[in-house]
Amino acid sequence: MFDFLFSSKNEKLVKKWHKEHEEIVELAHKVIGEYSKNNHDAAKKYLKKLNDLAVDHVMDEDIQLFKLTHDEKSIDPKTEVLVEDFIKSFKKTKLALMDFLSKYSRPETPLDDTFFQQFNDLVEVLGERINFEERNVYSRLKEK
């Protein structure tokens, strides 16, 4: 019941980020569902929420992981290498995601078939990245 009082900073971060991942996935499914029902206004609303959450999540994660890798006491060298590899390998995907969400969450940008195909592809890649991140990076961070 009071486990959160005794959790480490890393455990709290991981718990927060995991919750945000769940919200990101839920919003992505809502976008797909509403677009599939041809309700582009609702899809756009969820896309905007997804954009806001994803930007906040990625920025917070970047800042916190940077701090962790530059504080000798936060993580061990093996975890530091894992985190740095993750950051480097996710950079292109992250930029593509931010560009895509920024473009299509604008009110004047229509949601068309190109959007839907690219969004589905992006959701698939992000799902894989989230799974990798949680299984590898987050699990290591929770141990520290």
Per-residue pLDDT tens over the stretch 21-76: 999 999 999 999 999 999 999 999 999 999 999 999 999 998 888 888 887 666 78
Q: Give residue 55's domain range.
A: 8-143
In a domain, 3, yes or no: no
3-class SS string, the chain: CCHHHHCCHHHHHHHHHHHHHHHHHHHHHHHHHHHHCCCHHHHHHHHHHHHHHHHHHHHHHHHHHHHHHHCCCCCCHHHHHHHHHHHHHHHHHHHHHHHHHHHHHCCCCCCCHHHHHHHHHHHHHHHHHHHHHHHHHHHHHHHC
Q: Decide if 67 is inside a domain.
A: yes
Q: Classify residue 45: in a domain, yes or no.
A: yes
Q: pTM for the full model?
A: 0.84
Tally the domains of the chain: 1
Q: Is residue 1 assigned to a domain?
A: no
Is residue 43 in a domain?
yes
- The answer to whether position 37 is within a domain reads yes
* Residue 4 clears pLDDT 60, i.e. is over it: no
